[in-house]
Structure 1
Amino acid sequence: MLTLRLQIFQWAKHSSKIIALWVFSACTMANDPRLGVLWPEDVQRQQAVKAAGQGLDEPLSQPPVAISEPKLTTVIAEAPSELEKTVSETLEPITLEEQIQQQVVQSALSQFGYDIFAVTPTTFAPVEGIPVPPDYIIGPGDTFVLQIYGPSDVEYRLVVTREGRLLIPEIGDIQVAGLSFEEAKLTLQQTISKMRIGVKTVITLADLHTIQILMVGDVSRPGMYTVSGLSSLLNTLITTGGIKRTGSLRDIQVRRHNQVIARMDIYNVLLKGVDDDNIYLRQGDVIFVPPIGPTISVAGEVHRPAIYELKTEQTVADIIALTGGLLPTAD
């Protein structure tokens, strides 16, 4: 009987612990808004503990690094022209004496001057960041910056309208299209000085207008191009692909309103550094490259063995001058 009472007491005592534990857990869950659900950081912590014990740690994956490479210019390797092939065949040795002379005479000659077009830019960027020359012709789209200093300093940023006029607040509209940059500055300063006595005016050009020109004849890529209003003839030839080896380098023509207004000889630029005929282009200009003229091949003991296009050269001395003269080893 005593043993039975002891067992009932132990069972009641053990049951009270279970009931108390259940009541405590229920109260805890009631106060916890998760209702027994673990927070994400608790789940990650448990997973990390399990993984650490199994040696499953792995380094964090690194995002791929993008390496940007600069754009390179495209070098165009042209095949020998028919003229160059003909000259090479002519220079091939026939007799034993000619084979001996072959040691000092070039077996292949290239046409002079066309290497200037061998490297073509990957982008046709406008001309920016260079001073505007005084003879630059103003056109619709040019942006003027006017700084007027006086009792009250003001600055205007004005764009030339399609009609070629500049609309200045409190002064009026002034016709500037067709004038050179120097003439436009003088006209604006005189007009502003009449309207506002005692002020000083500073005039600059910010953005330049664009023009459309036409490339025809023996050019690599004929067609219509939109270029900066500050583009010159030679700059436009280079950036648009240049002249084919069947085209002339000595009579490049610029036609405006159906009249030839300029002729350029690239030999003057390459041999003398003279670019007097390298004019600035205007809206609607046509660049025409005629077929190549008479040629002569010069090989042997000269500074620049090549195939030259003739223009006014008539004597041997004139032709030797094209090559840069004779070498000291020449007989």
Structure 2
Amino acid sequence: MRWLWIFLGVCWMYTPSLAQEPEDIWEMLDESLRREKEALPGEIEFGPPGLREEKERPELMERGPRIERAIALDRPVDPNSYIVGPGDGFVVYIWGQVNQFHELIVTPEGKLIVPYVEPVPVAGLTLTEAKKRVVQKVRERYRVDVSVELKALRHIRVFVTGQVARPGAYDVSPAHRAMDVLSSVGSRRNIRIFRRNGDTLCVDIDRFLNLGDLSANPYLEAGDVIYVPPRGDVVHIYGAVKIGNRNAYELRSGETVADLIELAGGLREDALPEAELVRFKDDG
């Protein structure tokens, strides 16, 4: 690993050599699960362990039932981004010409079956779209007011592989983000998510924590394979930057000087228009 120390600012551009991606992610997954079974006798208990890559980082999520409470209290489901799927639970209130109350679960075929109303396909829709479709179908049958609410989140299974403390399978909800299942000991900024449809997403924990960039910490989907490569080359930034409590940042391919300064919160108002650059070779 190469190290770079930068004081007051950054005047350097570098392209790190990322760890080579496995040729067959599914073979890697099988090997990861095999190692966990050998290491942990008996039945494996699944659940997000929380992020603990550094001592100064508090645990962000805990395992077991507390995960569901944290999601409900701290991160309400966004109806415009949450995708409905089989297993999601709904409550449907109907009042007016008739008065009804129904607790319903989306079927394995992706439909919500309201009594005396034709089955409503909702899987694959956003929560907002699904609610509108159910209301529309009920009102085609009755002259009523309708309220549709999401009551319970379905469970999905994702797989965590690579340089992590506990590789394996995890049961989570679609309201969990990538960071919720990572206890990373490898890369923090070059994590990849391989999706069933062939898409590949990049997870950048530092960018999410420092800048609040939600796109760097995407929601999980059923069947996601999360791969954490070894940690890449690192830059240390000291001096007049706004985020000074953490100075070491892993490099990503193609990053510029401006990218690294932004990741450190940008320069403070009292920053001088100059910088000192110190480089170390592999041999020290």
What's the % identity of the aligned pairs? Answer: 34
| 1:17-96 superposed matches below 5 A | none
* Structure 1 residues 261-299: Cα deviation after superposition (integer angstroms, max 9, x where no partner): 421222222322222332221111111112222212345
The separation in 2 between residues aligned to 1:147 and 1:322, in whole angstroms, is: 47
Provide the residue aligned with 2:222 in structure 1.
283
Is residue 59 of structure 2 the alignment partner of residue 119 of structure 1?
Answer: yes
The separation in 2 between residues aligned to 1:226 and 1:208, in whole angstroms, is: 12
Gapped runs of 5+ residues in structure 1?
Answer: 1-82, 92-112
- The aligned amino acid for 1:201 is V
- The aligned amino acid for 1:123 is R
Please point out which of 78, 81, 98 is paired with 1:133.
78
Kept after mapping to 1: 8 A contact 2:94/2:145: yes
Kept after mapping to 1: 8 A contact 2:190/2:228: yes
Provide the residue aligned with 1:146 in structure 2.
92
| 1:107-256 superposed matches below 5 A | 114-115=54-55, 119=59, 123-125=63-65, 126-128=67-69, 129-130=72-73, 131-134=76-79, 135-196=81-142, 198-237=143-182, 242-244=183-185, 247-256=186-195
TM-score normalized by structure 2?
0.65
* Structure 1 residues 10-39: Cα deviation after superposition (integer angstroms, max 9, x where no partner): xxxxxxxxxxxxxxxxxxxxxxxxxxxxxx
Moved over 6 A (4+): 326-331
SS of the equivalent of 2:216 reads coil
Q: Which moved more, 1:129-138 or 1:248-257?
A: 129-138
- The aligned amino acid for 1:207 is A
Higher relative contact order (CA 8 A, sep 6+): 2
TM-score normalized by structure 1?
0.56
The separation in 2 between residues aligned to 1:250 and 1:260, in whole angstroms, is: 18
* Structure 1 residues 176-232: Cα deviation after superposition (integer angstroms, max 9, x where no partner): 122211111111111111111x21110001111111000011122110011123211
Max Rg structure: 1
Kept after mapping to 1: 8 A contact 2:208/2:217: no
Kept after mapping to 2: 8 A contact 1:299/1:305: no
- The aligned amino acid for 2:224 is D
Kept after mapping to 1: 8 A contact 2:89/2:104: yes
* Structure 1 residues 27-70: Cα deviation after superposition (integer angstroms, max 9, x where no partner): xxxxxxxxxxxxxxxxxxxxxxxxxxxxxxxxxxxxxxxxxxxx
Instruction: Give the direction of change, closer, same or farther, for the CA distance of 1:186–1:263 in structure 2 (3 Å limit).
Output: same
The separation in 2 between residues aligned to 1:286 and 1:127, in whole angstroms, is: 22
User: Comparing both structures, which one devotes a greater share of its residues to helix?
Assistant: 1
Instruction: Give the direction of change, closer, same or farther, for the CA distance of 1:234–1:195 in structure 2 (3 Å limit).
Output: same
Gapped runs of 5+ residues in structure 2?
Answer: 6-52, 275-284
